[in-house]
Chain A
C-alpha cells in the first residue's frame, strides 16, 4: 500500500494511544511475567507450609533465589526483552525449577514448568522450542545426575525421553500458532493504523470539500447579488447555441420580459432584429444569426458595438452590447455573455447634435460665401479700383470673414471627429513643405506681434503618409498658438527631424532595435507657458488656459483638440512640455513609411 505517502502525521494523542496498544508494550511485559510470578510464589508457599517436601534445602533456596532474581530483574525492566534476552527469564526459571525439583524431590513442583515452557514456546523466534526441550530434559534429568532419590524412579527413563518429546511437539505447535497469531496481530494492527490514517484523510478531505463548497456558495451568492443589483444594464448569458441561461433585472427592465419566461426557453436571437443579423451575417460571412452576432467576439476575444434589441412590446432599443465568450470551470467554451447599455436616447441626441452642427455650419457658410464672393468682386474690379483706405477696410472685413469661416470649419470638424465621421485623404506628404507653409501663414502675424519665427527642416524633406490639408491645419494650429501666446521680443522655433519611437513610446534621435521611424516636429515658444495643473486639459474641447483668458488671447479652445484628433488619426502622438514664464514646446510625431 502506498498509504505512507498520503498519510499525514498522526496527532500527538493518537501517537500516545498507539504506544499503549502496542503488543510489545508494558502490559504485554506484565502479562508475560505475571503467571510465572504467581506460580513461583505459590510454590514458595507450598514449600514453606510443608505441602511440598524440602529434601535438600540448599538446592531449594538457590532455586527460589534464582527464580525471584529473574522475576525481579524482569519486572524492574518494565518492558519485554527482545531477541535472545527474552529467553533469559524462562531459562533462569528452568534452572530454578531444576534445582527445586532436585531439592524437593516432588514431581508436583513440575507444575512450575508451565510458565517458562509457555513463554519459550510463544517466543517470537524459533529458538524458544529447542531451549524448552533442552531445559525440560535438564529439569527431568538433574535429580538423576546428582543422584537424588526420587519416587517413581522406575518410570524416570521413560519420562526423561517422553517429557522433552511432549514439550518439543507441544512447544512447536504453540510456537507456530503463536507466531501466526503474532503475524495476524501485526497485520491487524497495521491495517488498523492504515484504516485510521485513511479515515483521517477522508475526514480532512471532507473538511476541505465542505470549506470549498461554502466558499463557492458564498461566491455564487456574491455574483448573483451583484448581477441582480444591475438594473440599468442588461446582463444576458447564453449557451453556445444562444439559449438564455442568465437574465438579470436590467434585462427584464430593458426588454420587458421576466426571468422565468426566458431562462432555458428562449434564444438571445429572439431579441434581435432578424434583418440586422442577416446583414451582419452577410458582412462578416457568417452562416447563422448567432455566428454573425458573436463573430467579432470569437475572433478577438471581446466585441463592443451597437445592436438593436426588440423589447416585448415591439419597441426597438439601440443597445451598446459588449460580447465576450464564457468558459466553464474546466476552461471549455460554454457560451456567451452579452452586457448591454441602452443607448437609444444617447444615440438620438448624438444624431440631433450632428444634424444641428451640420445645419448651423451650412447656414453660416452660405452667408459667408456671399460676403467673401462679393468682397472678391469689389476688391478685384479692375474697372473701379479702390482707394488704399477702402482696400484696407475691406481687407479687414475679409480677414474677419475668413476667421469666422475657419471657426465654422473647426466646429464642423470637431463634430465629425466626435461622431467618428472624420476621414482622411491619405497621400505622400512632405512635412518640410507643410512646416514652411505654416511659417509663411504665420509670418505676418508674428512680425506684427514682434515674435521671431525660426524654421529648421531637413533640406531634402521628410515624407509621411497623410492628409496634406489636415496636417497643414494641425501645423498651422501649433504655430499660430505659439505666436499668439508669445510676448513681443520672443521666439518661436519650428524644428522637423527624423526620429525613432520605441514600443513603449520613447522617442530617440537615433535608430534603436524595435523602434519605428517617425517624423518629429517640435514647436517651441518662449511664451507665457501653461500652468502645471492645466496641462492635462489642453486637448479638451473648448478648454482655455487661465493665462489665455487673463491675457485676452483670442480663441475658442478648439485648435489643440483638432490638432490632437488629426495627429491621432494619422497614428501619431502629440505631447507638450511647459514651464510658466519660460515657454511651451509641443512635440508631434507621425509615423514614417518604412
Chain B
C-alpha cells in the first residue's frame, strides 16, 4: 500500500553470493512476530533476531547489525519510530534498511514513519503476499550507507 517502489534490479535476496539478507523482526505480539518471521523466510531472508519490545529490538540491532529491520510501530520500551530515529543517528546502524509495520494507517502516520527514517511502511493488517514482496524489494536494495 504505502510501500516504496521496488528497485529496478529486483531479485530474490537468497541469490546473493554474500549469503541471505539478515533480518531483525520486532513486534510485541507473538503471533504477529511469528507471522512476520514466516513471511521474511518466504522472501528468502534469514531471521537473525526476534525482539518482543522496543528495548530488545534496539539492543539486537546494535549487537547484530542486521541488513533489514522489520519493526512494529507501537511497542513497549521504544516505538518503531523512536528506534528508527536512534538507528539513523548512529553511523554504525544508519545503513540498516527499515520496514515499519503499524495498525495506524492514516496518511499523517505514514508520513511520520517515513520522516523518522523508515525505507517503507506497511499498514496492518497486511497480506502475507504483500509483506513478502516488500521484504524482497528491500533486501535487494543496496545498503543506504
Contact = CB atoms under 8 A, between A and B. Distances in A.
A369 B32 contact: yes
A376 B35 CA distance: 11
Contacts of A370: 29, 31-32, 35
B127 interface: yes
Interface in A412-438: 416, 421, 423, 425
Interface stretch (A44-52, A135-143, A359-367): A359-367
B108 A369 contact: no
A440 interface: no
Contacts of B112: none
Given A365-B125, A376-B127, A376-B128, A425 B103 contact: no
Nearest to B111: A423
Interface in B93-130: 103-104, 106-108, 124-129
A178 to B, nearest CB: 106
Nearest to A375: B128
Which one of A361, A366, A369, A377 has the greatest number of beta carbons of chain B within 10 Å? A369
A190 B35 CA distance: 114
B126 A416 contact: no
A471 to B, nearest CB: 15
B104 A362 contact: yes
A416 B32 contact: no
Nearest to B101: A369
Contacts of A423: 106-108
A368 B125 contact: yes
A368 to B, nearest CB: 5
A374 interface: yes
B38 interface: yes
A30 interface: no
B137 to A, nearest CB: 19
Given A361-B103, A362-B103, A377-B38, A369 B128 contact: no
A405 B108 contact: no
Nearest to A373: B35
Nearest to B106: A416
Contacts of A376: 127-129
Report the contact-size class of chain A (Cβ under 8 Å from the partner): 10 to 19
A366 B29 contact: yes
B107 A425 contact: yes
Nearest to B36: A373
A372 interface: yes
A365 B106 contact: no
Contacts of B107: 423, 425
A350 interface: no
Interface in B35-91: 35, 38, 74
Nearest to A408: B103
Interface in A345-387: 358, 361-362, 365-366, 368-370, 372-374, 376-377, 380
B125 A372 contact: yes
Contacts of A366: 29, 32, 103, 124
Contacts of B108: 421, 423
Contacts of B103: 361-362, 365-366, 369
Contacts of B125: 365, 368-369, 372-373, 405
A358 B35 CA distance: 24
Contact of A373 (B32, B74, B104): B32
Nearest to B38: A377
Given A361-B103, A369-B103, A370-B29, A377 B128 contact: yes
Contacts of B38: 377
Nearest to B110: A425
Contacts of B29: 366, 370
Nearest to B39: A373
B128 A373 contact: yes
Which one of A362, A373, A380, A423 has the greatest number of beta carbons of chain B within 10 Å? A373
Contacts of A362: 74, 103-104
A374 B106 contact: no
Contacts of A373: 32, 35, 125-128
A546 B29 CA distance: 42
A370 B31 CA distance: 6
A532 B35 CA distance: 51
Contacts of A361: 103
Nearest to A363: B103
A405 B29 CA distance: 18
A370 B128 CA distance: 10
Which one of B29, B125, B128 has the greatest number of beta carbons of chain A within 10 Å? B125
Interface in A120-160: none
Contacts of B31: 370, 374
A372 B31 CA distance: 12
A373 B40 CA distance: 13
Contacts of A421: 106, 108
A370 B129 CA distance: 14
Contacts of A374: 31, 35
A127 to B, nearest CB: 110
A83 B108 CA distance: 106
A362 B102 CA distance: 9
A459 B66 CA distance: 51
Contacts of B124: 365-366, 369
Contacts of B106: 416, 421, 423
A369 B124 CA distance: 6
Which one of B31, B38, B126 has the greatest number of beta carbons of chain A within 10 Å? B31
Contacts of B126: 369, 373
Given A366-B103, A377-B128, A421-B108, 8 more contacts: A358-B104, A362-B103, A368-B125, A372-B127, A373-B126, A374-B35, A421-B106, A423-B108
24 contacts: A358-B104, A361-B103, A362-B103, A365-B103, A365-B124, A366-B124, A368-B125, A369-B125, A369-B126, A370-B31, A370-B35, A372-B125, A373-B126, A374-B31, A376-B128, A376-B129, A377-B38, A377-B128, A380-B128, A380-B129, A405-B125, A416-B106, A423-B106, A423-B108
Interface of B: 29, 31-32, 35, 38, 74, 103-104, 106-108, 124-129
Instruction: Kindly list the 9 A-B residue pairs having the minimum CB-CB distance in the complex, ordered from nearest.
Output: A369-B125, A365-B103, A370-B31, A373-B35, A362-B103, A369-B124, A376-B128, A372-B125, A368-B125
Interface of A: 358, 361-362, 365-366, 368-370, 372-374, 376-377, 380, 405, 416, 421, 423, 425
